[in-house]
């Protein structure tokens, strides 16, 4: 009985390790071809979000790069008391898209999707598509304007409309980096598509 339990535990451990490797962050987060090659379901997730929300794939991936560096269970760092004692996190943001509890609740209610998870890549991309779609409708932002869309994503729709970001070079710097990443991914995607005719991972 003890021997059997040991085998079961080893099997569970092996399954856990395999699952962990599937969700591992890309080896080169700045190369879209490498990212899609390493994670074979992510391209399909990008296509699905693009069809549903008109989310340009390069923008969705750039947002995830900026928010979590493609780490599935990413969280904001904990604040420290007296500079050494770990304390509360700065927000409830979690997952690939760093969606907060409140934003994720709104997303589920608005879309009717009950069983979505923030640490699921496809769900995170769909969330970004939904959020940018709201930015387009509420703030009249173009869906290919990565810079302004990221400002709205980071500040929230109310914060963006009130212009809270205008006096913050830090926040504008974040948006510039997201836009630059999106531009890089867009160029790389053309190359990936050109090379993908003989590869099954790219669709």
Q: How many domains does the chain have?
A: 1
What's the confidence (pLDDT) of residue 62? 98
Residue 70 phi, psi dihedral angles, 5° rounding:
65, 25
pLDDT at 31 over 70: yes
Positive/negative CA dihedral, 196, 34, 117, 97: negative
Residue 140 lies in a domain: yes
Task: Tell me if residue 168 falls in helix, strand or coil.
Answer: coil
Residue 22 lies in a domain: no
CATH number, domain of 109, equals 1.10.530.10
Distance CA 155, CA 64 (A): 16
Lowest mean pLDDT among 16-25, 66-75, 90-99, 110-119: 16-25
Mean pLDDT of 162-179: 96
* Nearest residue to 36 (alpha-carbon basis) of 21, 46, 49: 46
Helices 169-195 + 146-161 axis angle, to 10? 150
Mean pLDDT of 144-160: 97
Q: pLDDT band at 26, cuts 50/70/90?
A: confident
Residue 71 domain boundaries? 28-197
pTM above 0.85, yes or no: no
Residue 40 lies in a domain: yes
Residue 8 lies in a domain: no
Task: Tell me if residue 28 falls in helix, strand or coil.
Answer: coil
Task: Tell me if residue 79 falls in helix, strand or coil.
Answer: strand
pLDDT at 48 over 80: yes
Mean pLDDT of 73-88: 58
Q: What angle do CA 106, 139, 135 make, to 5 degrees?
A: 40
Residue 157 lies in a domain: yes
- Rounded to the nearest integer, the mean pLDDT of the chain is 83
pLDDT at 89 over 60: no
Residue 101 lies in a domain: yes
Residue 79 lies in a domain: yes
Mean pLDDT of 12-27: 48
Residue 16 lies in a domain: no
């Amino acid at each position: 009985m003890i021997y059997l339990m040991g085998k079961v535990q080893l099997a569970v451990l092996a399954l856990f390790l395999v699952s962990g490797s599937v969700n591992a962050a890309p080896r080169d987060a700045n190369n879209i071809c490498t990212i899609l090659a390493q994670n074979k379901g992510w391209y399909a997730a990008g296509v699905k979000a693009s069809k549903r929300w008109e989310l340009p794939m390069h923008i969705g991936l750039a947002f995830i790069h900026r928010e979590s560096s493609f780490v599935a269970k990413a969280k904001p760092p904990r604040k420290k008391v007296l500079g050494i004692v770990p304390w509360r996190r700065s927000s409830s943001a979690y997952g690939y898209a760093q969606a907060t509890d409140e934003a994720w609740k709104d997303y589920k209610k608005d879309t009717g999707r009950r069983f979505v998870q923030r640490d699921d890549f496809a769900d995170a991309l769909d969330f970004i598509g939904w959020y940018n779609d709201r930015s387009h409708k509420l703030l009249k932002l173009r869906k290919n304007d990565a810079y302004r869309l990221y400002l709205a994503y980071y500040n929230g729709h109310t914060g963006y409309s009130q212009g809270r970001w205008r006096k913050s070079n830090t926040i504008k710097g974040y948006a510039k980096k997201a836009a630059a990443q999106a531009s890089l991914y867009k160029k790389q995607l053309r190359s990936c598509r050109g090379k993908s005719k003989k590869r099954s991972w790219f669709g």
